[in-house]
């Protein structure tokens, strides 16, 4: 709830607020939303453009990874094959897994989310278009870095999970592991930015009247997935940074000779890796839950059950990570705990499947191509789920560990749980992307080739695994009972590939010859089909009020007239700006008008600078690293140095309702985004704390012999954290006031607090040699982490002070003070916890 009322100026529509940009007065609504032509297309930040970029790039990576899979299957088609040497084979299967998991599956779901969320919730664009574009470019450049390893003959070969010690410098002396660690970490920026964007977009920019319970079910799935990304990706990001720091700087995080522990990497990796499976599966299940009612002609059965199941899965899936480590010697009691949680997750999964089956039972489904893929999903995923319950049992898991049974299981879950729904979704939503329908005839061929090919390829692997064939072997001798099964698997993979290639053909063919899609071509009930899907630059002339979960079925006024004439909010385009409605996150009641950015180069420049910095790290060209990061800083500064839109009230076009623009309110999209960002940040911090606690608990000798941090300085650091907390509180109060200039003192107070806390933490860790032990290195990593965040507080508060000093901030435009208040508060807490950890580790408290 709003704890204070922000200062807002109420001006007539023909007057602009002096602090707010007017937009493009020479352009009408449609031209304001047009994508820029020519080379300037790269500066477009529209969700339609960025979403399509994610989808096309993700699909290209899918084809590359699929080609690598065919190389693997060709190598294994006969015993003692010499098609690939073992080193190349290692590279091929490593890159297959890496690309599929990091550069295809997650970006594809981001592409669907970016493209469909605004259309489905009734917004004109995503809430942070520049962040979406920035995330895309980070993903693209990160993917190029990973793929370029082939050019330098340094493709990673240590498996998609990069286990240590194999991937440390001692055993991987070339740059292959660095390509993986740097490229993937960079690409993951896209995932975490997407998480923030999805959370804020779904919670804050829904159509008037769309409460949480009137949201399309897909939005619940995406919302839960976004929170899972926010909590699930940080352990891997931290693990990757620690491993790269070990390789680059020699810090002994995983070095057993200095108190490190290879199992720490496995914990960090699988803390990400298992939720990752659900992060991939849930959006796909959400697509199924959206498409299924369309083809059955009835609403989804058990909306409430499905919501309960997806929220529960979001939590339970984090309790399964160690079931990937059953064979590592963990205590049996731990194994049993994870076995219990792994079995439990079958319950909410089953609830969802039963919701789908009950929906199917309500009517006679139309067997269009998307429906075939939905049935394929149900068949394959349920088999994958059954084998999942089997390997949740510790004794069977130990037997099947690292065998082809596991390969069969994971492909049944991932191909069944993601690829089949994804192809169904591509057929279903393709008119949204191209304005044309794909071929029903070719689509049926695609489905049957994929379905038959998949089952031949992967069902056999259950048997090969039960006959003892281990994963990741480049060849095998004949006569072990694996020959025929491998031959069949390889033939199945070729048939599957033929299905995929036929889809590619259909994609190009339909762009020229496909039927033009009419309005709501599938007869769906959700809002994205309101307009005829010939892709325009804009979404809604007027944002309609929503009174139902299936508005196109239950609100006849939406389809009984041409879409541009449908009544709704924001039809007047008074300020010639890109705008959408902002709502209360829970009830959906209109709360503000959200101003959105126009095309800009800043996301591309910022991402390019970062890419240059990361790539130069690989080449050890450290001057270039500095140049790259300087370019990124310039790009980000230009990005944030824009006129504020807050402080004024405008007509929403909704029965005379006047709403503030970019309101200063804890429920606003920007503040929700900061909360999401701090959730990710705290998960990163918690991952480092976990690393420290883990080493303290498992390597007590090293923890006892590591010198303690300076207790006096650590105590003073705790006090400095408290002072930063106080300035955060002051900044939050100032955000709601009308006075501008006096708040500069608060901004400078935040800056001084950040410098003081950083300096004291630095002084307190001085007695500890980071190279002496893994435990000591984690202590320094904690300092470096908090110092990085304090640097952001310093930079941000100085920018805020400078903007006020030069008159760029008018009364009512103090939203940045609210945002930095929340940011600095969490940073102060992390700084305080670090100081406390130093005191505890040294035995001072």
Q: State the binding string over 166-205 for other proteins (x if CB under 8 A, else -).
A: ----------------------------------------
- Start-to-end CA distance of the chain, whole Å, equals 38
For the chain, what is the total number of helices (H) and then of strands (E)? 26, 5
**How far apart (Å, rounded) are the C-alpha atoms in residues 276 and 448?**
28
Can residue 319 be called a binding residue for other proteins (CB under 8 A)? Answer: yes
Q: Which of residues 582-611 bind other proteins (CB under 8 A)?
A: 586-587
Contact yes or no for 261/698 (Cβ under 8 A): yes
SS3 (DSSP) at 200? helix
Beta-sheet strands, E only, within 228-305: none
3-state secondary structure 592-616: EEEEECCCCCHHHHHHHHHHHHHHH
Nearest-approach distance from CB 698 to other proteins, in angstroms: 5
- Pairing of the two strands 658-660 and 578-583: unpaired
Q: State the binding string over 294-313 for other proteins (x if CB under 8 A, else -).
A: ---------xxx-xxx-xx-
3-state secondary structure 526-588: CHHHCCCCCCCCCCCCCECCCCCCCHHHHCHHHCCCCHHHCCCECCCCCCCCEEEEEECCCCC
Which one of the spans 32-40, 133-141, 496-504, 690-698 is the region binding other proteins (CB under 8 A)? Answer: 690-698
Which one of the spans 19-27, 566-574, 697-705, 803-811 is the region binding other proteins (CB under 8 A)? Answer: 697-705
Can residue 351 be called a binding residue for other proteins (CB under 8 A)? Answer: yes
**How far apart (Å, rounded) are the C-alpha atoms in residues 414 and 684?**
27
**How far apart (Å, rounded) are the C-alpha atoms in residues 48 and 61?**
20
Contact yes or no for 546/207 (Cβ under 8 A): yes
What six digits make up the tokens of 499?
Answer: 């299905």
Interacting residue with other proteins among 333, 395, 512, 806 (CB under 8 A): 333
Can residue 12 be called a binding residue for other proteins (CB under 8 A)? Answer: no
CA-closest candidate to residue 284, choices 126, 413, 95? 413
Q: Which is nearer to other proteins, 218 or 451 (CB)?
A: 218
Q: Which is nearer to other proteins, 339 or 617 (CB)?
A: 339
Q: Which is nearer to other proteins, 394 or 787 (CB)?
A: 394
Contact yes or no for 70/497 (Cβ under 8 A): yes
Q: State the binding string over 258-287 for other proteins (x if CB under 8 A, else -).
A: ------------------------------
Which one of the spans 35-43, 340-348, 558-566, 795-803 is the region binding other proteins (CB under 8 A)? Answer: 340-348
Nearest-approach distance from CB 723 to other proteins, in angstroms: 31
Nearest-approach distance from CB 333 to other proteins, in angstroms: 5
Can residue 845 be called a binding residue for other proteins (CB under 8 A)? Answer: no
Can residue 228 be called a binding residue for other proteins (CB under 8 A)? Answer: no
State the Cα torsion 237-241-246-252 to the nearest 10°: -70
Which one of the spans 70-78, 432-440, 620-628, 692-700 is the region binding other proteins (CB under 8 A)? Answer: 692-700
Can residue 699 be called a binding residue for other proteins (CB under 8 A)? Answer: yes
Interacting residue with other proteins among 11, 21, 78, 212 (CB under 8 A): 212
Can residue 378 be called a binding residue for other proteins (CB under 8 A)? Answer: no
Q: Is 150 exposed, middle or buried (0-12, 13-18, 19+ CB in 10 A)?
A: middle
CA-closest candidate to residue 503, choices 414, 454, 438, 452? 438
Which one of the spans 145-153, 210-218, 383-391, 677-685 is the region binding other proteins (CB under 8 A)? Answer: 210-218
Evaluated on CA atoms 549, 552, 557, 563, the torsion sign reads positive
Can residue 214 be called a binding residue for other proteins (CB under 8 A)? Answer: yes
Can residue 343 be called a binding residue for other proteins (CB under 8 A)? Answer: yes
Partner residues linked to 658 by β-bridges: 651
Interacting residue with other proteins among 314, 370, 443, 749 (CB under 8 A): 314
Q: Which is nearer to other proteins, 219 or 316 (CB)?
A: 316
Can residue 346 be called a binding residue for other proteins (CB under 8 A)? Answer: no
**How far apart (Å, rounded) are the C-alpha atoms in residues 341 and 389?**
11
Which one of the spans 15-23, 478-486, 564-572, 691-699 is the region binding other proteins (CB under 8 A)? Answer: 691-699
Interacting residue with other proteins among 250, 468, 700, 788 (CB under 8 A): 700
Can residue 354 be called a binding residue for other proteins (CB under 8 A)? Answer: no
Interacting residue with other proteins among 60, 340, 398, 805 (CB under 8 A): 340
CA-closest candidate to residue 465, choices 525, 510, 544, 403? 403
**How far apart (Å, rounded) are the C-alpha atoms in residues 246 and 183?**
17
Can residue 344 be called a binding residue for other proteins (CB under 8 A)? Answer: yes
Nearest-approach distance from CB 209 to other proteins, in angstroms: 11
**How far apart (Å, rounded) are the C-alpha atoms in residues 162 and 242?**
13
Residues 6+ apart with CB under 8 A from 34: 537
Q: Which is nearer to other proteins, 354 or 629 (CB)?
A: 354
Interacting residue with other proteins among 163, 315, 448, 629 (CB under 8 A): 315
**How far apart (Å, rounded) are the C-alpha atoms in residues 24 and 485?**
65
Can residue 225 be called a binding residue for other proteins (CB under 8 A)? Answer: no
Residues 6+ apart with CB under 8 A from 494: 70, 73, 453
Can residue 256 be called a binding residue for other proteins (CB under 8 A)? Answer: no
Sheet holding 648-651: strands in order across?
9-10, 648-651, 658-660
Interacting residue with other proteins among 109, 230, 238, 341 (CB under 8 A): 341
Contact yes or no for 206/222 (Cβ under 8 A): no
Which one of the spans 58-66, 399-407, 601-609, 698-706 is the region binding other proteins (CB under 8 A)? Answer: 698-706
Can residue 399 be called a binding residue for other proteins (CB under 8 A)? Answer: no
Q: Which of residues 712-741 bind other proteins (CB under 8 A)?
A: none
**How far apart (Å, rounded) are the C-alpha atoms in residues 533 and 513?**
16
Can residue 696 be called a binding residue for other proteins (CB under 8 A)? Answer: yes
Interacting residue with other proteins among 6, 65, 68, 316 (CB under 8 A): 316
Q: Judged by CB under 8 A, how many residues of this single chain contact other proteins?
A: 38
Can residue 213 be called a binding residue for other proteins (CB under 8 A)? Answer: yes
Q: Which is nearer to other proteins, 345 or 607 (CB)?
A: 345
Nearest-approach distance from CB 8 to other proteins, in angstroms: 24
Nearest-approach distance from CB 778 to other proteins, in angstroms: 16
Interacting residues with other proteins (CB under 8 A): 211-214, 303-305, 307-309, 311-312, 314-316, 318-319, 331-334, 336-337, 339-341, 343-344, 347-348, 351, 586-587, 696-700
């Amino acid at each position: 709830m709003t704890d204070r009322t922000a200062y807002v100026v109420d001006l007539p529509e023909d007057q602009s607020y002096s602090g707010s940009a007017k937009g493009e007065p020479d352009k009408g609504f449609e031209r304001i939303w047009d994508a820029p032509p020519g080379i300037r297309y790269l500066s477009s930040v529209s969700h339609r453009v960025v979403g399509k970029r994610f989808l096309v790039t993700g699909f290209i990576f899918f084809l590359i990874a699929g080609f690598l899979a065919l190389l693997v299957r060709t190598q294994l088609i006969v015993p003692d094959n010499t098609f690939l040497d073992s080193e190349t084979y290692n590279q091929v299967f490593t890159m297959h897994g890496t690309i599929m998991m990091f550069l295809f599956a997650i970006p594809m779901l981001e592409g669907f989310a970016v493209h469909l969320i605004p259309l489905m919730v009734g917004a004109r664009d995503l809430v942070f278009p520049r962040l979406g574009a920035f995330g895309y470019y980070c993903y693209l450049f990160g993917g190029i870095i990973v793929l370029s390893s082939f050019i330098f003959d340094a493709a990673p070969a240590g498996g998609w999970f990069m286990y240590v010690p194999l991937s440390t410098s001692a055993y991987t002396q070339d740059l292959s592991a660095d390509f993986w660690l740097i490229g993937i970490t960079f690409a993951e920026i896209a995932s975490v930015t997407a998480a923030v964007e999805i959370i804020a977009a779904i919670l804050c920019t829904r159509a008037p009247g769309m409460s949480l319970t009137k949201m399309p079910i897909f939005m619940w799935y995406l919302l839960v997935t976004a929170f899972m990304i926010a909590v699930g990706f940080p352990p891997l990001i931290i693990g990757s940074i620690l491993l790269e720091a070990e390789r680059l700087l020699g810090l002994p995080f995983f070095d057993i000779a200095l108190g490190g522990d290879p199992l720490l990497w496995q914990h960090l990796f699988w803390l990400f890796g298992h939720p990752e499976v659900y992060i991939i599966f849930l959006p796909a299940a959400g697509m199924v839950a959206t498409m299924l009612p369309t083809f059955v002609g009835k609403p989804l059965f058990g909306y409430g059950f499905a919501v309960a199941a997806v929220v529960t899965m979001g939590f339970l899936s984090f309790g399964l990570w160690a079931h990937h480590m059953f064979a590592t010697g963990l205590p049996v009691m731990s194994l049993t705990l994870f076995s219990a949680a792994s079995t439990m997750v079958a319950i909410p999964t089953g609830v969802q499947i039963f919701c789908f089956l009950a929906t199917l039972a309500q009517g006679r489904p139309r067997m269009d191509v998307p429906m075939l893929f939905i049935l394929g999903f149900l068949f394959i995923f349920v088999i994958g789920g059954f084998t999942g319950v089997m390997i949740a049992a510790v004794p069977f898991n130990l037997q099947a560990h690292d065998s082809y049974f596991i390969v069969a299981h994971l492909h049944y879950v991932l191909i069944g749980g993601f690829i089949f729904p994804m192809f169904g979704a591509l057929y279903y939503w393709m008119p949204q992307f191209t304005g044309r329908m794909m071929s029903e005839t070719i689509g049926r061929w695609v489905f049957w080739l994929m379905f038959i090919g998949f089952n031949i390829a992967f069902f056999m692997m259950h048997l090969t695994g039960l006959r003892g064939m281990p994963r990741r072997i480049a060849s095998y001798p004949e006569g072990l009972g694996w020959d025929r099964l491998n031959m069949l698997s390889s033939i199945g993979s070729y048939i599957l590939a033929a299905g995929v290639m036929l889809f590619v053909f259909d994609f190009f063919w339909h762009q020229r010859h496909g039927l033009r899609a009419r309005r709501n071509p599938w007869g769906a009930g959700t809002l994205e089909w309101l307009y005829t899907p010939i892709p325009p630059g804009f979404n809604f002339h007027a944002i309609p009020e929503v009174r139902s979960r299936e508005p196109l079925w239950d609100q006849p006024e939406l389809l009984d007239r041409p879409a541009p004439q449908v009544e709704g909010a924001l039809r007047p385009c008074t300020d010639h700006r890109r705008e959408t409605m902002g709502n209360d996150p829970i009830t959906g009641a209109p709360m503000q008008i959200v101003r959105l950015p126009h095309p800009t180069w800043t996301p591309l420049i910022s991402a390019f600078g970062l890419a240059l910095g990361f790539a130069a790290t690989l080449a050890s060209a450290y001057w270039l690293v500095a140049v790259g990061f300087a370019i990124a800083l310039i790009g980000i500064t230009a990005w944030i140095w824009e006129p504020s839109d807050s402080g004024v009230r405008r007509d929403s076009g909704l029965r005379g309702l006047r709403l503030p623009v970019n309101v200063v309110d804890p429920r606003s999209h920007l503040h929700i985004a900061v909360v999401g960002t701090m959730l990710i940040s705290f998960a990163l911090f918690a991952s480092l704390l976990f690393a420290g606690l883990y080493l303290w608990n498992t390597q007590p000798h090293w923890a006892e012999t590591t010198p303690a941090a300076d207790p006096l300085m650590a105590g003073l650091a705790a006090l400095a954290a408290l002072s930063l907390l106080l300035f955060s509180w002051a900044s939050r109060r100032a955000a709601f006031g009308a006075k501008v200039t006096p708040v500069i003192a608060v901004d400078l107070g935040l800056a001084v607090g950040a410098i003081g806390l950083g300096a004291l933490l630095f002084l307190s860790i001085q007695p500890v040699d980071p190279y002496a032990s893994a435990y000591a290195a984690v202590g320094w990593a904690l300092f470096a982490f908090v110092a990085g965040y304090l640097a952001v507080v310093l930079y941000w508060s100085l920018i805020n002070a400078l903007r006020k000093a030069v008159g760029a901030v008018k009364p009512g435009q103090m939203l940045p003070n609210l945002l930095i208040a929340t940011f600095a508060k969490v940073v102060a807490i992390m700084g305080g916890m670090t100081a406390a950890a130093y005191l505890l580790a040294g035995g001072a408290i």
